[in-house]
Chain A
Amino acid sequence: AQSVAQPEDQVNVAEGNPLTVKCTYSVSGNPYLFWYVQYPNRGLQFLLKYITGDNLVKGSYGFEAEFNKSQTSFHLKKPSALVSDSALYFCAVRDGPSYGQNFVFGPGTRLSVLP
């Protein structure tokens, strides 16, 4: 069965600095990987996905993530953090395209960008 770990409950970063939110995963087949963001009192929003192709994936709001197969990681990154990036971030994995596979979400990492 697939699983996702987000080893940090909380990440604090100063505005303008680069940010990284970590995610590691475990699947038996080919991983399909996703990042979602949840702002207060709003639903989860899709940020980006890795299905196949380039290991560096670019998504919404200037975020990007790097797929590293050997380290089974999919860390979310942004070169310059904004205060408005402060939110809850979830990594999710699906075990390939097989019919019937479902998504597993990590526990979330709260990002605080300090002015």
Chain B
Amino acid sequence: GAGVSQTPSNKVTEKGKYVELRCDPISGHTALYWYRQSLGQGPEFLIYFQGTGAADDSGLPNDRFFAVRPEGSVSTLKIQRTERGDSAVYLCASSPGGNRAYEQYFGPGTRLTVT
């Protein structure tokens, strides 16, 4: 079946611009996670949705970052006034419930480069 998809795969933007990154989770998965991965490091948690609501947004680095999941499926990560330090691979993962809860299935990521 279809896995988690993320668009775009690559995004180059200028410092100060606004960007949106999209995640399409696996159909039926109730939980959705956003992570940021810098070169040579493990994924860093940003935000977690259970259904439409953000259950934990403690990983968002500052108020320039915001994410939504209005219908409990597709999610968009929004970054305002981008900075060079925002450059990273942004990963999305979704997770089913039941006895497979907490198993995260990752998308290929969006590589964001801020110039």
Contacts and interface: CB of A to CB of B under 8 A. Distances in A.
Contact of A102 (B4, B41, B59): B59
Where chain A touches its partner, the secondary structure class is strand
A108 B50 CA distance: 27
A45 B106 contact: yes
Interface residue range, chain B? 20 to 34
Nearest to B54: A100
Contacts of A90: 42-43
A99 B55 CA distance: 7
A100 B56 contact: yes
A42 B108 contact: yes
Interface in B1-50: 3-4, 33, 35, 40-45, 48, 50
Contacts of B109: 43
Interface in A40-58: 42-46, 49, 51
A46 B96 CA distance: 13
